[in-house]
Amino acid sequence: MRIRTLAALTGALALSLVTGCGQSDSVGSGSGTVTYWLWDANQLPAYQACAKDFERQNPGLKVRITQMGWADYWTKLTASFIAGTEPDVFTDHIQKFGQFADLDVLEPLDDLGIDDSAYQEGLAANWTGQDGRRYGAPKDWDTVALFYNRKMVEEAGLTAEQLNSLSWNPEDGGSFEKAIAHLTVDQNGRRGDEPGFDKDNVKVYGLATGGAGDGDGQTTWSPFTASAGWHYADKARWGTEYQYGDRTFQQVIDWYFGLAEKGYLAPFTDYTDGANPASAQLASGKAAASFDGAWMISTYYGTKGLDVGTALTPTGPTGKRATMMNGLADSITKNADNKSGARKWVKYLASDECQRTVGRYGIVFPATPEGTRAAVAAYEKKGIDVSAFTEPVTGRRDSLTFSFPVTDYAADVYALMRPAMQDVYANGAPVSDLSRTNDQINLILGQ
């Protein structure tokens, strides 16, 4: 098993080096030290505050926090598993969970007494493996909403109420496409829904590009595929067959990327990995609106000269709005140097006490309801309305939430779907080509 694990990890590292950086230096942990890795610099102060309180409650234990950028983080984490220099605890992402669980590098956490009902619905259940054991303690969550430039929306004669009541369908795009078209302006000042609009010379796109969406489309096409009734796989968790060959999926994808052909959605060439391209497009005036995640709230609202608002995702053919609800967790590595200290730290991280502390910083939505309420209050103090992100989670009846697909061979799915989706968006490849890619993925899952 160990040989298989190391070989698979080496392959994963080779894949991550395409976008990541080199291997990290060893970070050792003494008998009284718990090493903890996270990727978000904005959250670092909040967790430093939690660590300070944890150390006060646990004399003799120290928490050493290491923060890295997103791409660097996963490359170095994978390298650390290979080199045996992994941290005791790390921030885990549901998109990576299937791979890490399969590679047997995570420590079961069943003895921590995690109660699913203590967290926002669905968050805790996501972190159980196929063996029924828990491998992550709920940390925080995020959803997706529509950010928009208030000035551009007002100039277009649209209101916040209209943006919050949009609907769409894959035949004509509904009121959502009409609004995006009207927000689009060409170099001659004509809007996308006006006669003479020049789609080849656009000054302001109605909708920013977030890329091709790879295999999950979190901040691009997923609100549309989900609100059309489509699901990634045959089961929400640990499915054995993906459904990218489904007619509904391909119809929605064809419509969504067709917005670029009409000139309403910014082209694929405007997208740059790792540079927050959607927010940059709004900040520069190249786009009027963008779908993005709650983790970007501070970035948008903190952009100088940008007066931004947020709206709910549009209602789809099912009569529901949809948003991906991504939940992060804290995981302990199987070969942690300080497992006893790591267990105490992870249990504290998942507690209301720490989650309230994190919430008060107004950076993310912690996993417990109390932590979420603290975050909402912190955003309100900053003058930021976050209801477009929280309402789908806290009980809005016309909304549904869904998670990243959790299956085996997640890295292989990514490696196959990423170029396939880019080919559709950037090169105009027929969506029917995704059926062949889907067959390749399911062949791997069936091994």
Instruction: Summarize pLDDT for 137-163 with one digit per residue, the tens.
Output: 999 999 999 999 999 999 999 999 999
Q: Taking 80 as the threshold, does the pLDDT of residue 25 lie above it?
A: no
Strands 202-207 and 287-293 come out as parallel
The residue-averaged pLDDT of 224-251 equals: 96
- Distance from C-alpha of 316 to C-alpha of 225, rounded to nearest angstrom: 9
Backbone φ and ψ of 297, nearest 5°: -55, -50
Three-state DSSP class for 111? helix
**DSSP helix/strand/coil, 42:** helix
How far apart CA 180 and CA 287 sit, in angstroms, is 10
Q: Tokens at residue 385, please?
A: 């309305």
pLDDT, position 174: 98
Domains and CATH numbers, the chain: 2-140+329-384 (3.40.190.10), 144-324+409-445 (3.40.190.10)
β pairing state of 308-311 and 144-149? antiparallel
The string of pLDDT tens digits covering residues 327-363 is 999 999 999 999 999 999 999 999 999 999 999 999 9
**What b/e string do you get for 395-410 counting C-beta neighbours within 10 Å, with b at 16 or more?**
eeeebbbbbbbbbbbb
More confident residue, 53 or 13: 53
Q: Report pLDDT for 446.
A: 87
Per-residue model confidence as pLDDT tens digits over 75-133: 999 999 999 999 999 999 998 998 898 889 999 999 999 999 999 999 999 999 999 99
Q: Report CA dihedral (259, 263, 265, 266) to the nearest 10 degrees.
A: 140
Sequence letter at residue 315 = T
Using the predicted structure, report yes or no on whether residue 20 has a pLDDT greater than 80.
Answer: no
Contact 357, 50 (CB under 8 A): yes
The mean per-residue pLDDT over the stretch 183-190 comes to 98
In b/e form, how buried is each residue of 64-91, taking b as 16+ CB within 10 angstroms? Answer: bbbbbeebbbbbbbbbbbbeebbbbbbb
User: What pLDDT score does 28 carry?
Assistant: 40
Amino acid 390: pLDDT: 97
Q: Does 280 have pLDDT greater than 60?
A: yes
Taking residues 184-199, report their average pLDDT: 98
Spatial distance between the Cα atoms of 322 and 304, rounded to a whole number of angstroms: 30
Half-sphere exposure of 141 (CA within 13 A, CB side): 32
Rounded mean pLDDT, 166-173: 98
User: What is the amino acid identity at position 77?
Assistant: L
User: What is the average pLDDT score of the chain?
Assistant: 92
Asked whether 392 and 121 are in contact (CB, 8 A), the reply is: no
pLDDT at 3 over 90: no
274/163 Cα distance (integer angstroms) = 28
Task: State residue 14's pLDDT score.
Answer: 44
Instruction: Return the pLDDT at 99.
Output: 85
Residue 209 three-state SS: coil
Q: Are 89 and 37 in contact (CB under 8 A)?
A: yes
What pLDDT band is residue 31 in, cutting at 50, 70 and 90? low
In this structure, are strands 89-92 and 202-207 parallel, antiparallel, or unpaired? unpaired
How far is Cα 440 from Cα 447, in angstroms, rounded to an integer?
A: 11
